[in-house]
Amino acid sequence: MTAITIFNGCFCDARPVVERVAEITGYHLVEDREIIADAAWLSGLNKAMIAGIFSAEGGDFGMSGPDRNQVVSWLRYAVARKLSAEKNLVLWGITALLAPRDCTSILSVCLVNETNDRLWTACRDGERTESEAREVMAADDRMRGEWVVGVTDCNDPWSETLYDMIVPVGALGARQSAYLVVEQLAKAVVRDTAASRARMEDFRLAAKVQAELARHGHDVAVSAQGGTLTLSLESHDSTLKNGTRCLFDEVSEFRGVRGVEIGTGQRYNPNDVFQRAALVRPYRGEEALEDAACTSACGEDAVLAETIRAHLPYENWAVSVFVRDGFVSLAVNDHGKLLERMARRVCGLATGIDGVSSVEFGVGREYHQGAACARIRRERCLAVLEDDKRKFVPTLSPRLRHGGEARSFALYDGKSAFYTMDEHEPEVVLLDMPVSAGTDVLRQFKLDHPETEVLVLADRAAEQDREACMNLGAFACLNKPVNTAALSETIRAACEKSRSISCP
């Protein structure tokens, strides 16, 4: 499996770039709507509800809270299934950021434009004024920024840390942008290996478990390696909510209970992850005295309270119980015990899923970061997006910069070929032109640059046209859609020939 994931801003001419990449490579193009449909089928959730996560209407950035967590989990699982099932694909859209960044068979791309280029693209057809275009851009950028903050550790949708490539389409043009993507895909760095397939299977299993846990309301980060899961609770608020919900469900079943309310007691310490607060807890037996003081004088209430306490022993739950007129009030006193019970619950759910061999448990680094932290991240993201003077240049990740030896350029017409060669000295040139129209260009090019090898990308060229190209000095003539593995091997061979000629 080899995949290209493409994320972009609005008015960046992304579609012609994406479609050109798919045409050259023959990769199956998958867009957000297909992922949304798959997520709806897998989860049973309404398709419109899932699509609503990408809405920025009213400035609410779509849904939030548990519903959002569940939807994101199912979208991630849909992406994982698609990447695992498809041999070669282009995943284009907002969901592209859900693919794993550490899989060597995936090339992640961001298509961007500077503000002036985006405004020109938005207004060129005359359907929008500049002010209208700015409103659309601002709303779309806020939505994408919220998405990035929610599914990554980054506060900038256009950060080079999120991608293998940053491609400013306005500066390069749509065709040249597509060629740049294909050129990097042809490098041996982006390849399908046994290790990448194992990584993708781990990602699929982790995404499946995370989605099933989200179905039960648990906000849990999941990673997998060879069937071994590592679960990390990501939110104290979510853990407390799920824990109290479990208590509510259990206590509500008792005969005579007319209502249940749950809160935290004075001794509850949300930072007590490892039960370090034991030194400051009351002396032994004082908890029982406290519970006794919280007992109604009514005999029926006292019996009900004792029944509930017997079902929820303090050494296991650390919950105080008070009953009045059939209404039960519970106070959670020990965060450590609550966390332990929730850990047992999520681990039990995870071990029942096919493919899971063992489960490890922990607490995520953002466990105690509440709404204030998320709000600060969103504010930082908005500050970045509001910078109208931000410049973009073509950027490659370290693995692309250092992972391939071929220095090749994709050139789409004769004029640009000669113009590029005036500034650069590539070893291999990729010429994407109709063979019948490109023979003159190829002849002149080889006369001017005899040491540079030329690969011709053709639309199912006739045999006589292929022979004409080879007679004019082309190293190879490849039909589109081109097999990227074959292209990579051809580029390598062409580079070796070019170097042998230049260095006899």
Segment 57-67, tens digit of pLDDT: 544 444 455 57
Q: In the predicted model, what is the mean pLDDT of residues 83-91?
A: 92
What is the Cα–Cα distance from 365 to 112, expressed in whole angstroms?
31
pTM: 0.82
Domain with CATH 3.40.50.300 in the chain: 2-192+370-396
Question: If you search the block for the tokens 């899971």, which residue do you land on?
Answer: 356
Question: What is the sign, positive or negative, of the torsion defined by CA atoms of 312, 315, 319, 321?
Answer: positive
Domain with CATH 3.40.50.2300 in the chain: 405-502
Strands 165-168 and 395-396: antiparallel
Q: In the predicted model, what is the mean pLDDT of residues 321-350?
A: 88
Identify the pLDDT of residue 276.
43
Q: Which residue has the higher pLDDT, 320 or 408?
A: 320
Q: Answer for the pair 259, 326: CB distance below 8 angstroms, yes or no.
A: yes
Q: What are the distances in angstroms from CA 186 to CA 24, 168, 175, 193, 210?
A: 12, 20, 17, 15, 34
Q: What are the distances in angstroms from CA 31 to CA 12, 82, 89?
A: 16, 11, 10
What is the Cα–Cα distance from 427 to 90, expressed in whole angstroms?
28
Class of domain 2-192+370-396 as given by CATH:
alpha beta
- Amino acid at the residue 72: V
Question: If you search the block for the tokens 């050109």, which residue do you land on?
Answer: 20
- Amino acid at the residue 342: M
Q: In the predicted model, what is the mean pLDDT of residues 83-95?
A: 93
What is the Cα–Cα distance from 81 to 495, expressed in whole angstroms?
37
Give the bridge partners for 458, in sequence order. 479
The 10s digit of each residue's pLDDT in 20-48 is 999 988 899 999 999 999 999 999 999 99
Q: In the predicted model, what is the mean pLDDT of residues 78-104?
A: 94
Q: Which residues contact 365 (CB under 8 A, 6 or more apart)?
A: none
CATH architecture of 405-502: 3-Layer(aba) Sandwich (3.40)
